[in-house]
Structure 1
Amino acid sequence: MPAKSAAQQKAAGAALSAKRGEQPTSKLKGVSRDMERSMTEAQLEELAATPRKGKPEHKSGD
């Protein structure tokens, strides 16, 4: 599942970094903290690997 916005991609990258132990979980806020707790490393990797080019900063609600 590719990221739908740059913000989602950035949050996934932060959560992935914490899950791998590269930064403390205590530095995570909001959605990235929830992502780190609820998603597997593979799921986070897939979201974080989505290219940002052409993505809106924030996705409008559907």
Structure 2
Amino acid sequence: MPAKSKKQQMAAGAALSAKRGEKPKSSLKGASRSMVESMSEKELHDMASAERKELPERDSKD
């Protein structure tokens, strides 16, 4: 599932980094903190790898 906004993509990238052990989980905040626990590495990768220029800054539902 690709990201729906740039903010969501950035949160998924931070969570993916923590999931892989490249960054401490304690440094995560907000959505990325819950993403790291609730999503698999593949789901996070799919969300973080969305084409960025096509995404709005924020999802219209935010």
- Shift of the alpha carbon at 1:54? 2.0
Q: CA deviation at 1:60?
A: 1.0
Superposed CA RMSD in Å reads 1.2
In the alignment, the residues of structure 1 paired with residue 54 and residue 47 of structure 2 have an alpha-carbon distance, to the nearest angstrom, of: 15
Gapped regions of structure 2 (runs ≥ 5): none
Instruction: Return the letter of the residue paired with 2:39.
Output: M
Q: Give the fraction of aligned pairs with identical amino acids, expressed as a percent.
A: 61
- Compute the displacement of 1:10 (Å): 0.4
Q: How many residues align?
A: 62
Output the CA distance in 1 between the equivalents of 2:54 and 2:44. Answer: 20
Structure 1 residues 34-49: aligned runs within 5 Å: 34-49=34-49
When the two structures are superposed, what TM-score results if normalisation uses the length of structure 1? 0.95
**Taking structure 2 as the reference length, what is the TM-score of the superposition?**
0.95
